[in-house]
Structure 1
Amino acid sequence: MCGIIGIVGKSPVAGRLVESLKRLEYRGYDSAGVAAQVNGVLERRRAPGKLRELEAVLERQPLVAATGIGHTRWATHGAPTERNAHPHIAGRVAVVHNGIIENFAELRAELEAKGRVFASDTDTEVVAHLIDENLNAGLEPLAAFKATLDRLSGAYALAVLVGGDTDVVMGARNGPPLAVGYGDGEMFVGSDGLALGPFTNRVAYLEDGDYVIIDHGSARIFDAGGALVERPIKTLPASAAVMEKGNYRHFMEKEIHDQPEGCQRTIAAYVDTLTTRTKIPGDIDFAKIDRIQIVACGTAYIAGLLGKYLIERMADLPVDVEVASEFRYREPALNAGSLAIAISQSGETADTLAAFRYCQAKGMQSAALVNTVESTIAREADVIWPIHCGPEIGVASTKAFTAQVAMLSALAVAAARQRGKIDEAEENRLVRVLLEAPRLIAESINLEEAVRAIAVDVSKARDVLYLGRGPMYPMALEGALKLKEISYIHAEGYAAGELKHGPIALVDEATPIVILAPFDSYFEKSASNMSEVMARGGQVVFITDPEGERNAPAGARVVVTAPKCDPLIAPLVFSAPIQLLAYHVAVQKGADVDQPRNLAKSVTVE
């Protein structure tokens, strides 16, 4: 998750930019850079590696200016080299960017046809060229910026300098967060309150679609339609730990909202955005593997179930998924031609580690799908597949879950291609689908107000049932687990086809039934299950997509309409509503959301 800072200041800016970027190191990065207005002319300094490398460059080549932008980059498009490091400059424009511009390839082709020459492999550079192109067409900087935003598809946060406008920085948000800081005769933009902490405690958070222009004394914020708007200015507490929550009451809420960024980072690690091909590290040949054995616990186990659905359907490769705490005690039959995958956010889960070692002792190849690359499971694996979602503080996993699912989705595409089940054209299409996921997850998070309203009534229930078919069955398990973990309401997830085999006995007027049903090949049968539930007085919360809403049986108590998406990424897009439902039910009940009773973030004992 790249870090952004922009300053319109009264004092030398280079050191202040670096100071702020150091507070963003927790997000992870592989290069850094700054740009500034030096007597109205743009200059920049960049370096691969850690911030100390950038500081060494600045010591050799100082930047003497009071207005500038800075960036820590985690590589998505292009290798982590100096030429790909931000800021990117085209003509009079310098840009730093967090996110993915989904339509950058077509925009780049269009600009190259006009004679524009690109100096990097990144998607970000098209933004600088587009703004400069609009400036050359006679538009004022803010109008040129808005015209550029209207051309972009994807999830992004931006900070922009225009040469000659020495006291102005522009910014925009569509998915990844961006905040505005209010100082004394100086103004700031940054990725979060933590980035702005050294300079001010008065912060406003942009909403999706907003763009802003700051100068020494003010910020003008506009919504996506171009209307001037006000966003509330909040006074942040001094505690850095609290400040890191930004505009959110709890870390869990923040981490739900972090998911477009987190998934963008995960997906970019496992696909090549220029060639739209998958790139899975390690020398594992899926064409030669006869079976995959996944071991995991809790939410990671459910991510593994989703991986099973995807890999078996797409790659025709058998996948077994087992709860790690039971796995080795039943002495399962394994063979050395299989691949063992351990899924663990911390990489230290005791049961998962023990099951993983059992697989390795049987001569199996091993891969670790973890968030912590220095963990025990990662160190002992043949191959490490980091999920790159950044630190997760809330005990109930949210962004780590979607990052795990995003990685497994890319893995399914790669395995299908290696095993000859899809051709290159289909691989290209599926990679483009994966690249759409961050934007669609952000749209799904925008359902929060609708979900919050549902939570008021669900919080009064004693029991809640979740139903789903196909990949939505594991999602039903995950929805029920989240509700149990943080609200302490009894909840169960079932395969909807099992409804008549027992669970329908639990249906009554007091039991909310959450049905997850995008308009896919399972929809007709899910709609039938919905009718069965309503015929018995069940209070249905129907989570679907626009086509599903149009075709749903009448009578659902509440319909939550997630954005339309390809089935490959439906679990990612449908995650936010079920997470938000659990979160707001827990808040309604006054529960300790981030640290629910009896639970720990990393379970390092059996």
Structure 2
Amino acid sequence: MCGIVGIIGQKPVATDLVDALRRLEYRGYDSAGIATVENGHLERRRAEGKLRNLEGRLLQEPLSGHTGIGHTRWATHGRPTERNAHPHMNGKVSVVHNGIIENFRDLKNELSAKGHVFESDTDTEVIVHVLADEMAAGAGPEEAVGRALKRLEGAFALAIIFAGHDDLMIAARQGSPLAIGHGTGEMYLGSDAIALAPFTDAITYLDEGDWAVLRRTGVEIFNRDDKAVERPLIKSVASSLLVDKGNHRHFMAKEIHEQPEVISHTLANYIDMGEATVSVPDFGVDASTLSRATISACGTAYYAGLVGKYWIERYARLPVEIDVASEMRYREPPMTAGGLALFVSQSGETADTLAVLRHARAEGQRVASVVNVRTSTIARESDVALPTLAGPEIGVASTKAFTCQLSVLACLAIGLGRARGVIDREQERALVQSLVEVPRHISNILRNESQYEAIASLLSKARDVLYLGRGTSYPLALEGALKLKEISYIHAEGYAAGELKHGPIALIDENVPVIVVAPKDALFEKTVSNMQEVASRGGQIILISDADPEEVGCRVAAHIAMPKATEFASPLLYAVPVQLLAYYTAVAMGTDVDQPRNLAKSVTVE
């Protein structure tokens, strides 16, 4: 959720810390702060709200330390106030933290009984006091951290600095990602490599349970048993990726417009364009013998998985179970050994999804993942990682990551269909061709954005909005409703169109816009019947379809004309107008499009 950074430098680090935090602000922006070691003392500056507030504070009260840590917060424990902002510190130690300390109440009670006084409402502050407690018992910084980690329960990533130690920073990870950057006489730390991109492309990722001692000359890494270990140093591509909006007003708009390019890159990773064939990695299991596949994910990634379920069942004739990871992890469902379990996550660090992955592995499943970060925990713990090539997605509301996930799942469905003998060579060629045409179709969709501004004016006045769809358009209805909720704060719900008469129709009147995702496919006439039910009750229909609106037999308030495409490819295309509707509605309402309230990009804690 939160973003953490650290630098042991040869010059004042405050400006560089803030620059690194700016690249991590998508992870949380309720408050921000930095702390440095200055003349042997710890000094910090914190501010409620977004990073610009901290920058203003630093202009008035600069920091000159050469070693420092920084944090941008997504609040879990305690309100987003300066009092609860990180770093937390006392006279000896300062800590920034991403995650949740599950036993913080027990530790707080224990330490309070010893006379420790707590100043915040956070779980993080207990780490400061645990470390101070160990140091008061005679432990040095490294020994204190080693002991403290064994007292903490939960998921966390930590960066710690100490008074009197200008050439020392200690990091630890358990359930939350951390990357170490190597410089010349300098060392860096960040929640992901993109934070370190301006400084270095030499990255070491900590494994689960690792903790590390950083000095200007290098790093020593220890595993959870305190044994020294080596972790590979890799060259990160993040340094070549510019994190700016280009000519767009918001990152979300930029990322919507990047979809033709990133979908092309993703498809090219799985399709031989010359032969019109799909190549997916060997899962280590005979696809023809599979009796079931299991998909799990959260949020938008779950809706991508739901589309994948439709595709895999239809084109590979393989039954698919799918569930949201936050529920599935606690159901601990029984799984037949040798089965295929598929996980979808943009960050590759989603805590609930990772928990289900580990359950699936314990149940003897072959584990595959669809991820946008190849070095992420989910990717590393999978037998096979199927990368999306979306590039960094800064807007909290997922757009290009979603369509790249769909691209991978579409290729997977074709590959499984061929391996199981369900589709022949000519059918494969036809399906591949329909995918190859997707970037062009999306480019055409993006050329006519003015219509969305007019529709957004209508939606911005609504208190409730319904989305309807059938077949693979049903997950698109769910995704459209989620996008609108996320960034405009308008209540919206997605429904399978056939379920309209089973309850939701009671909500419809002339004040309720109903957005209908209705490609002219085998289910189109069924959806038309539902539209007529809406129209007869005064609902304002916004039709997204490649059909002529005259064919629906009722009045529509607006029609978003879509290009003709195959039923197989339509989810990739119809994702774009639901994104644009949400985007322009949020703009019309003046909300923070890229950083909507209460949300964070990467959900690395429960």
Q: Is TM more than 0.5 here?
A: yes
Query: What is the match of residue 163 of structure 1?
Result: none
Query: What is the match of residue 245 of structure 1?
Result: 245
List per-residue Cα deviations over 1:367-425 (Å, max 9, x = no partner).
01100000000000000100111110000000000000011011111111111111111
Matched to 1:485, the amino acid is E
List per-residue Cα deviations over 1:432-463 (Å, max 9, x = no partner).
11110110111122232111110011011000
Matched to 2:599, the amino acid is L
**Does 1:499 pair with 2:500?**
yes
User: Measured at CA, do residues 560 and 360 of structure 1 come closer, stay the same or move farther in structure 2, by a change above 3 Å?
Assistant: same
SS of the equivalent of 1:568 reads: coil
Matched to 1:329, the amino acid is Y
**Does 1:391 pair with 2:377?**
no
CA distance in 1, matches of 2:352, 2:325: 5
* Percent of aligned pairs sharing the same letter: 57
CA distance in 1, matches of 2:365, 2:443: 39
CA distance in 1, matches of 2:553, 2:516: 12
Query: What is the match of residue 90 of structure 1?
Result: none
| Equivalences for residues 117-196 of structure 1 within 5 A | none
Matched to 1:454, the amino acid is I
Query: What is the match of residue 325 of structure 1?
Result: 326
Instruction: Check the 8 A contact 1:447/1:560 in 2, yes or no.
Output: no
CA distance in 2, matches of 1:516, 1:585: 17
Matched to 1:477, the amino acid is L
Instruction: Check the 8 A contact 2:260/2:439 in 1, yes or no.
Output: yes
Unpaired runs of 5+ residues, structure 1, are 1-239
List per-residue Cα deviations over 1:119-163 (Å, max 9, x = no partner).
xxxxxxxxxxxxxxxxxxxxxxxxxxxxxxxxxxxxxxxxxxxxx
Instruction: Check the 8 A contact 1:280/1:411 in 2, yes or no.
Output: yes
**Does 1:353 pair with 2:354?**
yes
Matched to 1:599, the amino acid is L
CA distance in 1, matches of 2:514, 2:340: 38
| Equivalences for residues 188-207 of structure 1 within 5 A | none
CA distance in 2, matches of 1:448, 1:369: 30
Shift of 1:332: 1.2
Shift of 1:554: 3.0
List per-residue Cα deviations over 1:477-525 (Å, max 9, x = no partner).
0000000000000000000000000000000111100001010000001
Instruction: Check the 8 A contact 1:447/1:577 in 2, yes or no.
Output: no
Query: What is the match of residue 80 of structure 2?
Result: none
| Equivalences for residues 167-316 of structure 1 within 5 A | 244-284=244-284, 285-316=286-317
Matched to 1:353, the amino acid is L
CA distance in 2, matches of 1:521, 1:420: 24
Query: What is the match of residue 588 of structure 1?
Result: 588
CA distance in 1, matches of 2:569, 2:315: 13
CA distance in 1, matches of 2:365, 2:473: 30
SS of the equivalent of 1:368 reads: strand
Instruction: Check the 8 A contact 2:535/2:554 in 1, yes or no.
Output: no
Matched to 2:466, the amino acid is L
Query: What is the match of residue 533 of structure 1?
Result: 534
List per-residue Cα deviations over 1:205-239 (Å, max 9, x = no partner).
xxxxxxxxxxxxxxxxxxxxxxxxxxxxxxxxxxx
Shift of 1:551: 1.8
Q: TM-score, normalised by structure 1?
A: 0.59
Instruction: Check the 8 A contact 2:485/2:491 in 1, yes or no.
Output: yes
| Equivalences for residues 513-552 of structure 1 within 5 A | 513-545=514-546, 547-552=547-552
Instruction: Check the 8 A contact 1:514/1:543 in 2, yes or no.
Output: yes
Matched to 2:493, the amino acid is E
Matched to 1:557, the amino acid is A
User: Measured at CA, do residues 508 and 426 of structure 1 come closer, stay the same or move farther in structure 2, by a change above 3 Å?
Assistant: same
| Equivalences for residues 37-52 of structure 1 within 5 A | none
SS of the equivalent of 2:569 reads: helix
CA distance in 2, matches of 1:363, 1:524: 44
Instruction: Check the 8 A contact 2:283/2:383 in 1, yes or no.
Output: no
Shift of 1:283: 3.8
CA distance in 1, matches of 2:465, 2:272: 42
List per-residue Cα deviations over 1:106-126 (Å, max 9, x = no partner).
xxxxxxxxxxxxxxxxxxxxx
Shift of 1:550: 4.7
Query: What is the match of residue 370 of structure 2?
Result: 369
SS of the equivalent of 1:309 reads: helix
Instruction: Check the 8 A contact 2:283/2:366 in 1, yes or no.
Output: no
Shift of 1:333: 2.0
Instruction: Check the 8 A contact 1:295/1:323 in 2, yes or no.
Output: yes
Shift of 1:579: 0.2
Unpaired runs of 5+ residues, structure 2, are 1-239
Moved over 4 A (4+): 240-243
CA distance in 1, matches of 2:596, 2:357: 28
Instruction: Check the 8 A contact 2:332/2:359 in 1, yes or no.
Output: no
CA distance in 2, matches of 1:241, 1:418: 37
CA-based RMSD of the aligned residues comes to 1.4
**Does 1:508 pair with 2:509?**
yes
Instruction: Check the 8 A contact 2:434/2:569 in 1, yes or no.
Output: yes
Instruction: Check the 8 A contact 1:334/1:359 in 2, yes or no.
Output: yes
Query: What is the match of residue 336 of structure 1?
Result: 337
Query: What is the match of residue 400 of structure 1?
Result: 401
Instruction: Check the 8 A contact 1:523/1:548 in 2, yes or no.
Output: no
Instruction: Check the 8 A contact 2:307/2:406 in 1, yes or no.
Output: yes
Instruction: Check the 8 A contact 2:276/2:428 in 1, yes or no.
Output: yes
CA distance in 2, matches of 1:275, 1:331: 42
